[in-house]
Structure 1
Amino acid sequence: MTDSTTVFNFAGLSPDTVLDALDSVGLYGDGRLLALNSYENRVYQVGMEEGPPLVAKFYRPQRWSDEAILEEHAFVNELVGQEIPVVPAMQLSNGRSLQEFQGFRFAAFTRHGGRAPELDNPDTLEWLGRFIGRIHAVGMQRPFAYRPALNIATFGEEPRDYLLANDFIPMDVLSSYKSTVDLALDGVRRCFDRAGDIRQLRLHGDCHVGNVLWTDAGPHFVDFDDSRSGPAIQDLWMLLSGERGEMVRQLSDLLAGYESFCEFEQRELYLIEALRTLRLIHYSAWLARRWEDPAFPQAFPWFNTQRYWQDRILELREQIALMDEPPLWPL
């Protein structure tokens, strides 16, 4: 279960504490505080006495070590150094990007507006592909030392074991869920076997449409909090949607931009449905681990119901079939 210290710490993060934390590093708010949509961490837009609003992120206790958070910050700064449009943590007057106040760890960011990219536009997809290729060209230059890898063990087997060891799945569907998730993981292993030895590199890790903001100048990428090592296709497949033919066209547009800056190993296409399956398993375990955080039952009231787990069983069965189909190939 979730550590009670985690819940207590976030419960004590009052608006006054947020403002006092920023004051402690010379960022003086004017009292305007807007909670932004984030469940893993606590993120606020803060009006400042001087200058535009800032974004303050308070990290979930006990999730990442200081070293892992700083490694994320360093990776984003590498991308900034290559003029890739990302949003780095601010280096403040004390020379640090990761701050601490009364047991809370936090970082400040400049606020960047934008809209969701139009993924039905081929030019938009090619533009996104170019920047993801540039991110990966930097990501392959050195490995992470403190941040974990995205693989079958971390995103499949360990989350499955956590769910089965705790009382989240109703008894009348437990056996069915266990047999189905085991079959799904067998399918994932077959996909990885077909792909062979795949290059691992530093990734955004959670590159879905909600983490890409679009302006007239193009995209910028936000929230590298889930940055991990893994296969390049992890940062591409979540931008695909619709029927198979649509996804083939979208993939072709993405790769047209991507391969301008970074070589893509087409064997990784065997991993698309496998990675989708791992994300589904990991997501259920993520909700379970956070269930003692009061924000989660309020936001996800359908979790931990019989209907929820019946739907997950059907979802995984669909994935088992999809993983045995031929992979997508670009036009």
Structure 2
Amino acid sequence: MNSEAESLSCEAAPYAGLTPDCVLAALDSVGLHGDGRLLALNSYENRVYQIGLAAPPIAGLETFSADVAVAKFYRPHRWSDAAIAEEHAFVGELAEREIPVIAPLSLAGVPAIDAAEENFGTTTPCGTLHTFAGFRFAVYPKCAGRSPELDDRNTLQWMGRFIGRIHAVGALHSFTARPRLDIETFGDAPRLWLLAHDFVPADLLPAWRSVS
């Protein structure tokens, strides 16, 4: 298989190497030892697993005593390390301000051993983003939730307050690593690309142009 075909194959199946063994080994590499329980959770672009823990965490993680953890494996090539770290920092700041979010665990200083590569894995300086066998991942505590009572006015008021507080915290700093959600990037450019590559059927093209 030539390099171009290998690249296309990797893009088509980016999680082909993320086997259950790989998931458990990744958790082992940051000091969280699985007991074999593995449950895939709903996720659109990434892969998220609830993982049962057996042995106590290694030194440095004594404060994390839960018997399950949630691991999020990021889709390869989708986000930069800086963008993920920026997201983690924002969620951490929300948690510090007592806004109910689930922040990733900081595992800075934990020796991450990458058995698949026979080398040491990596943990970013922020301590929340790790790499194992080519996959980047973060670990979260499990936190149960429930559907809100949307017909309850008090519930809607609380939700509105939290959304307002989230926006207020977000306005304190500029986000530099994540792409902007603007019309040019997510509207004009995709429209021109679709037109240039003949994705719109010819008989629908006039109507599509008029509304796009």
TM value normalised by structure 2 = 0.77
1:318 aligned residue: none
2:157 aligned residue: 126
2:73 aligned residue: 58
**Change beyond 3 A, Cα 1:137–1:118:** same
2:60 aligned residue: none
1:31 aligned residue: 36
- Contact 2:108-2:128 within 8 A present in 1 as well: no
**Change beyond 3 A, Cα 1:19–1:118:** same
Provide the C-alpha distance between the structure 2 equivalents of 1:86 and 1:4, rounded to a whole number of angstroms: 36
1:100 aligned residue: 131
2:20 aligned residue: 15
Provide the C-alpha distance between the structure 1 equivalents of 2:147 and 2:69, rounded to a whole number of angstroms: 20
Q: Deviations over 1:276-322 (max 9, x none)?
A: xxxxxxxxxxxxxxxxxxxxxxxxxxxxxxxxxxxxxxxxxxxxxxx
- As a proportion of its length, which structure holds more strand? 2
Residue ranges of structure 1 left out of the alignment (5+ in a row): 186-331
Larger displacement relative to structure 2 (96-105 or 51-60): 51-60
Q: Match for 2:157: what amino acid?
A: E
Q: Match for 1:103: what amino acid?
A: G
Q: Relative contact order (C-alpha < 8 Å, sep 6+): which is higher?
A: 1
Match runs of 1:1-331 below 5 Å? 4-49=9-54, 50=56, 51-94=66-109, 96-166=127-197, 169=199, 173-176=201-204, 178-185=205-212
Q: Deviations over 1:80-138 (max 9, x none)?
A: 12111111111014361000001100000111111221222221111100001111111
**Change beyond 3 A, Cα 1:165–1:91:** farther
**Change beyond 3 A, Cα 1:165–1:134:** same
Provide the C-alpha distance between the structure 1 equivalents of 2:84 and 2:208, rounded to a whole number of angstroms: 31
**Change beyond 3 A, Cα 1:89–1:162:** farther
- Report the aligned-residue RMSD: 2.1
Number of equivalenced pairs:
180
- Contact 2:105-2:139 within 8 A present in 1 as well: yes
- As a proportion of its length, which structure holds more helix? 1
TM-superposed CA distance for 1:181, in Å, is 4.6
**Change beyond 3 A, Cα 1:134–1:120:** same
**Change beyond 3 A, Cα 1:15–1:154:** same
